[in-house]
Structure 1
């Protein structure tokens, strides 16, 4: 059961069977030998529960844990982890490693032991991510195990890499942002991260994946005052390309807010929950 009404309403944990209370439990997600410090916000009730992998951004200063709690109140399990090389996780940080870690997270959710432990409904698995997490979400949205995906102000590192060969302004802005993110990261530098984008721009650029993404159920949210994932650069072209192939699968939601949705956190949770409820209830 998933009920969007509980985004702003407390769940009475003393109702029903006390064997199935909500909980926060260790989740042993391992990627290429590194334990990703994962944890599962487990929903109340016997289940099986729709389950989301919620991906934080770069480097993760703005952690959307409030969204995780809101979705759990609605009846969803939410898996969280840190990527390799950040926030104490062993290994070197790179965007390539982050992509590999997301695949490891999906693999973990469909493992039979994980499914049993957390009462997961494998027919209702979702990716949700903010900023870089939104980019990672869209990069993996075509995985056949994922029913639908939510990208919250996705920041397209592939696009930056592609245009960085000729647009010095956007390249320099990205590089300055990379420099501010290094404190919780291991084994990298702003120079290395920028070079990784330049080397992979043609392969990662999201508008070039529009035909495949048009086949997937997507919600993309946009902050119209966002100066990081700027609407004209990181959203408009991608959405336009997707609509060339299919106008029915993409849901867009716009808010008068910044990159962090600082004044629209409840709106964000309600918007995401409404989209998920619709998808879960589809016949």
Structure 2
């Protein structure tokens, strides 16, 4: 990785294998989804990030995608069913089903040949709902060995908050209704009910045995009022650390040494809001450092 990828273009150009952007469409449960992949310069194969946006997707982290590409990573992003022009109806369930469909797309021979994807080195990074989707996918897909959640929104934990406060149910439905301009096929009330109906399934604490086998990086914002730390960040970190401490695994020895106490778990809090609006450079730097450790732990040069 070049030292200045945060703010400088690459110093050389590979005419045979240039960096490029390729638009994508792929199918998930009968609907066509819209996406793109930023392909890193060089012959590859390249480690690849699947970058997941949140609900409704106003922050799509394009700045991070370009930085990661300059650091040698391919970056794929896409829109869930019913979001931002993708076919179908939006729901949280559909979104979590769409992530495995995107992973299958990334691992095809076509993507390996055309985009120089290394199917053995795919990392999930998600923001807000996308952070939860990344963790939930890692909890059910053993091929995922590294995942970063940025201001992740823990839907199962939020369901507990909703059950305890009828006024929160009403205000959340109203807030989510106001965020549907780029989405179709749902309402705020339907989404709230979906969270309540899946409270147990979407509680990440039930998947500690699998998550403990991953390299996990959680980043929160100290001024986040959408996914406040005391609900969505701190309890999850505590649960992960407690499980890892009480269930030592030989697998952890192969994971990046991130953090002195728990090699597979890392976290940090930035002085920022939910979108990390005034901490984008710091956010990128933290992620680059973690990605380098993940890449080298997998045996890459």
Query: Is the TM-score greater than 0.5?
Result: yes
Deviation per CA, 1:84-138: give whole Å up to 9, x if none: 0011111111000000110101111111221111111222110000001001011
Q: For structure 1, which segment, 15-24 or 3-12, has the greater mean C-alpha deviation from structure 2 after superposition?
A: 3-12
Task: Give the equivalent residue in structure 1 for 2:273.
Answer: 258
Q: Offset of 1:163 from its aligned partner? A: 3.3
Contact kept in structure 2, 1:162 and 1:205, CA below 8 Å: no
| Aligned-residue offset at 1:193 | 0.5
* Aligned mates of 1:34, 1:4 — CA distance in 2: 41
Secondary structure at 1:19 match in 2: coil
- Give 2:111's aligned residue: 114
Aligned-residue Cα RMSD (Å) equals 1.5
Alpha-carbon separation, structure 2, partners of 1:138 and 1:5: 30
**Structure 2 length normalisation: TM-score?**
0.89
Q: Name the stretch that deviates more: 269-278 or 112-121.
A: 112-121
Residues 16 and 187 (structure 1 numbering): CA distance in 2 closer, same or farther, change over 3 Å? closer
Which residues of 2 match residues 64-79 of structure 1 at below 5 A? 64-79=61-76
Runs of 4+, deviation exceeding 6 Å: none
Q: Structure 1 residue 38: deviation in Å?
A: 1.1
Is 2:88 the counterpart of 1:91?
yes
1:54 maps to what in 2?
A: 51
2:128 is the counterpart of 1:148: no
Are 1:123 and 2:120 an aligned pair?
Answer: yes
Query: 1:179 touches 1:190 (CA, 8 Å); kept in 2?
Result: yes
Q: Which residue of 2 aligns with 1:238?
A: 236
Residues 3 and 124 from structure 1, CA distance in 2 versus in 1: closer, same or farther, beyond 3 angstroms?
A: farther
* CA distance in structure 2 between the aligned counterparts of 1:131 and 1:155, rounded to whole angstroms: 5
- What's 1:11 paired with? 10
Deviation at 1:249, TM superposition (A): 1.1
Count of residue correspondences: 280
SS at 2:163 equivalent:
coil
Asked if 1:220 is matched to 2:218, the reply is yes
For 2:182 and 2:108, how far apart are their aligned partners in 1? 30
Deviations 1:148-180 (CA, angstroms, capped at 9, x unpaired): 011001001222223322233543453233122
Report the Cα offset of residue 34 of structure 1. Answer: 1.6
